[in-house]
C-alpha cells in the first residue's frame, strides 16, 4: 500500500511585516516586496488590531498571492511584541523585517542574499538608504558612511555603539540562526539598537554601497511623532507605550541608562574570549565618556522636568 505524503517546501527567506494602522502606505510597502526579483520568500503580516483599512488591504493581498500570510491580533500588544511575533512565525533560513511605510527596490533581496550566501561570517546585510516623501517620490539619500566591517568583535561592537540614530539597518536581511541567539526586541525604547549590538558580537554586518532601501519621511512616522520637533522635554512615557502597548504605564523611563545596562548584558552572554569581552567593556567605557554621559544626564534632567510638569498640572486643577 502506497501512502502519498505531501511535503511543503519551506521558503528560503521569511519577511515579517508588523503593522498598526498602516493604511496610508502599506499597499506600496507590500507591492515593493512582491515585486522583488528574488521570489523564494514568505511575507508574514501581523496586524496589531488596526482600526483603519489595514485589515482589508492585507487580506486582499493574501487572497491573491499565496506567499502572503496575514495574522490579526485582537488588540495592540506593542511594537516590540509584534516585531518578535513575525519572527516567531517565520520558517526561512534568512529573515527580514519590513516596515509598513518603507519600500525596497526590486534588486534588494537578491543582492543581500547573494552576499550572505558567499560569506558565512556575515550575519546581516543591508544597502545604502534613500529618502522618499509621503507620495513615494525619491528625494535624496542618507549620506552616512558605510559600516566599517571587521573580523574583530570589539571593533564591530564599537561600530554599532556609534550607530545610534541609524536604526533602519534592522530592516536588512539576517541569518535566522544568528537572530535566534539574541533577545531580539526588548520591550523598551530603542531595543532595535541593542539588537544590532548583539548581532555585532556574533558576526559581521555589511552594507551594499548601492541604494536599494527607501525610508519614507512623513507626518505619521515613528521618528516624526516622537522626535519631529525641537523641544526641551521628551514624553518618554508615550514613546514607551508605543513599544510596549501598555497604555497604563507611568513608570520612570531612562532609555540611555537602560541601553548601557543592556550593552553589558549582551557582552556577558556572548560566546567569545575574555580578551574580546574586556575590549568590549572598554568600548562601553569609551562610549560613556564621549557621548553616553551626556545622554544619561539628559535622561535624568528630562525625567525631572516631566515630574515638574505633572506636579504643576495636578496643582492647577
C-alpha 30/C-alpha 203 separation (Å) is: 30
Q: What is the pTM of this model?
A: 0.92
Whether the CB-CB separation of 98 and 16 falls below 8 Å is answered with yes
- Minimum mean pLDDT among 40-49, 220-229, 271-280, 287-296: which range? 220-229
Neighbouring-strand partners of residue 46: 18, 71
C-alpha 197/C-alpha 164 separation (Å) is: 10
Q: What is the mean pLDDT of the chain?
A: 90
Say if residue 5's pLDDT is above 50. Answer: no
Residue bearing the bigger pLDDT, 303 or 58: 58
Cβ-proximal residues to 127 (8 Å cutoff; 6+ apart), any chain: 108, 111, 112, 172, 207, 208, 209, 210, 211, 212, 213
Chain segment 149-179, per-residue pLDDT in tens: 999 999 999 999 987 656 789 999 999 999 9
Chain segment 73-107, per-residue pLDDT in tens: 999 999 999 999 999 999 999 999 999 999 999 99
Which CATH architecture group holds 13-216?
A: Alpha-Beta Complex (3.90)
Domain range summary for the chain, segments of one domain joined by + = 13-216, 222-316
Q: What percent of the chain is helix, strand and coil (3-state, nearest 5)?
A: 45, 20, 35
Mean pLDDT, range 184-194, rounded to an integer: 93
Amino acid at each position: 500500500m502506497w501512502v502519498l505524503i505531501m511535503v511543503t517546501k519551506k521558503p528560503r527567506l521569511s519577511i515579517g511585516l508588523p503593522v498598526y494602522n498602516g493604511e496610508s502606505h502599506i499597499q506600496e510597502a507590500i507591492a515593493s516586496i512582491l515585486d522583488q526579483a528574488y521570489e523564494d520568500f514568505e511575507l508574514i503580516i501581523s496586524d496589531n488590531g488596526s482600526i483603519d483599512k489595514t485589515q482589508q488591504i492585507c487580506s486582499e493581498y493574501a487572497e491573491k498571492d499565496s506567499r502572503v500570510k496575514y495574522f490579526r491580533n485582537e488588540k495592540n500588544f506593542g511594537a516590540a511584541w509584534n516585531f518578535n511575533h513575525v519572527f516567531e512565525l517565520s520558517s526561512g533560513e534568512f529573515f527580514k523585517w519590513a516596515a509598513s511605510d518603507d519600500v525596497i527596490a526590486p534588486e534588494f533581496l537578491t543582492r543581500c542574499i547573494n552576499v550572505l550566501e558567499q560569506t558565512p561570517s556575515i550575519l546581516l546585510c543591508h544597502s545604502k538608504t534613500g529618502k522618499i516623501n509621503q507620495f513615494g517620490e525619491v528625494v535624496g539619500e542618507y549620506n552616512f558612511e558605510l559600516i566599517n566591517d571587521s573580523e574583530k568583535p570589539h571593533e564591530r561592537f564599537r561600530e554599532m555603539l556609534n550607530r545610534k540614530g541609524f536604526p533602519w539597518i534592522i530592516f536588512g536581511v539576517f541569518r535566522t540562526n544568528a537572530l535566534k541567539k539574541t533577545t531580539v526586541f526588548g520591550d523598551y525604547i530603542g531595543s532595535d539598537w541593542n539588537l544590532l549590538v548583539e548581532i555585532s558580537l556574533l558576526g559581521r554586518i555589511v552594507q551594499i554601497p548601492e541604494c536599494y532601501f527607501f525610508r519614507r519621511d512623513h507626518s505619521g512616522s515613528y521618528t516624526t511623532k516622537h522626535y519631529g520637533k525641537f523641544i526641551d522635554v521628551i514624553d518618554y512615557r508615550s514613546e514607551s507605550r508605543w513599544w510596549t502597548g501598555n497604555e497604563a504605564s507611568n513608570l520612570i523611563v531612562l532609555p540611555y541608562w537602560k541601553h548601557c545596562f543592556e550593552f553589558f548584558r549582551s557582552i556577558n552572554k556572548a560566546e567569545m574570549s575574555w580578551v574580546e569581552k574586556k575590549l568590549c567593556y572598554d568600548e562601553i567605557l569609551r562610549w560613556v565618556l564621549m557621548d553616553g554621559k551626556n545622554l544619561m544626564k539628559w535622561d535624568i534632567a528630562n525625567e525631572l522636568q516631566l515630574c515638574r510638569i505633572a506636579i504643576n498640572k495636578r496643582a492647577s486643577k
